[in-house]
Amino acid sequence: MYFNVFGEKVSKARYREMVNAAKNRRELITAGLTSRRELFKMGLLTAGGMLVAKSGLSARAGQQVQTNNPPSSGQNTSPGTNQNCVPGNQTASPPTRPFVQALPIMPVTRGVSSLTPAPTENPNVGAGEVRAAPFQAPLIDSTRFPVVPSTLYNIHQRQFATSQHPDLPTQTLWGFDDGTGTRSPGPTYQAFYGKPQLTRNTNSLPSITEKNNTGFGMASVSTHLHNAHNPSESDGNPCDFYTNGRFCDQYYPNVLAGFNSDHEPNGDINESLSTLWYHDHRVDFTSQNTYKGLLGFYCLFNQFDTGNEETGFRLPSFPQFDIPLAFADKVYDPESGQLVFDLFNLDGILGDKFLVNGVVQPFLNVEPRRYRFRLLDTGPSRFYEYFLTDLNNLSSQNPYWLIGTDGNLLPHPVQIESVRIGPAERVDVIIDFRPFAGKTIYLENRLNQLSGQGPAAIDSQVAAQNSATTECSLVLNSNQPAILPAGAGNLLLQFRVSGRAVTDNSVDPASNPTFYQLPDTTQEPRIVRTFKFDRLNGQWSVNGQFMDCNTFRFAVRQNSAEQWLLTNLTGDWTHPIHIHLEEHQILSRNRVTPTLPGDSGRKDVTQVHPNERVQLFFRFRDWLGKYPIHCHNVVHEDHAMMALWHVVPAGQEDNINVP
Partner 1 sequence: MQGVSRRKMLGMLGIAPVVVGVAETAGANIHLGASSRLTLSEQARRRIQEQHLPDIPLITHEGKPVRFYKDLIKDKTVSLNFFFAKCDEVCPLVMANLAKVQKLLGSQVGRDIFMYSFTLKPDEDTLEVLRHHRSMYHAGPGWTFLTAKPDDMETLRKAIGFTYPEPAIDKDKTQHIGNIRYGNEPLMLWSACPGMGHAKWIAETLEWAIHPETNRVQAS
**What's the rounded Cα separation, in Å, for the pair 39 and 32?**
10
Of 48 and 499, the one with the shorter C-beta distance to partner 1 is: 48
Q: How far is CA 481 from CA 249, 457, 470, 498, in A?
A: 43, 4, 21, 35
Q: Which of 597, 515, 105, 108 is nearest to 314 (CA)?
A: 515
Neighbours of 470 (CB within 10 A): 12
Q: Least distance in Å: CB of 222 to partner 1?
A: 9
- Minimum CB distance to partner 1, residue 633 (Å): 13
For the bound state, the minimum distance from the C-beta of residue 10 to partner 1, rounded and expressed in Å, comes to 25
CB 585 within 8 A of CB 221: no
Q: Residue 316: name the closest of 508, 515, 510, 512 by CA.
A: 508
Residue 336 C-beta: closest distance to partner 1, Å? 6
Q: Least Å distance between CB 130 and partner 1?
A: 5
Q: CB of 577 within 8 A of CB of 630?
A: yes
Q: 637 — phi, psi (to 5°)?
A: -55, -45
- Residue 453 C-beta: closest distance to partner 1, Å: 6
User: Can you tell me whether residue 408 is helix, strand or coil?
Assistant: strand
Q: β-strands 353-356, 584-589: how paired? A: unpaired
Give the whole-angstrom CA distance, residue 64 versus residue 645: 38
Cβ neighbour number for residue 537 with a 10 Å cutoff:
7
- Please tell me the number of Cα atoms within 13 Å of 63 on its side-chain side: 0
With respect to partner 1, which residue has the nearer C-beta, 329 or 406? 329
Nearer to partner 1 among residue 45 and residue 92 (C-beta): 45
Rank residues 44 and 658 by Cβ distance to partner 1 and give the closer one: 44
- Residue 475 and residue 472: Cα distance in Å, rounded? 10
- The least CB distance from residue 585 to partner 1, in Å, is 26
Smallest distance, Å, CB 629 to partner 1? 15
Ramachandran angles phi, psi of 415, nearest 5°: -80, 130
- 3-state secondary structure labels for all residues of 173-188: EEEEECCCCEECCEEE
Q: Is there a contact between 590 and 610 (Cβ–Cβ < 8 Å)?
A: no
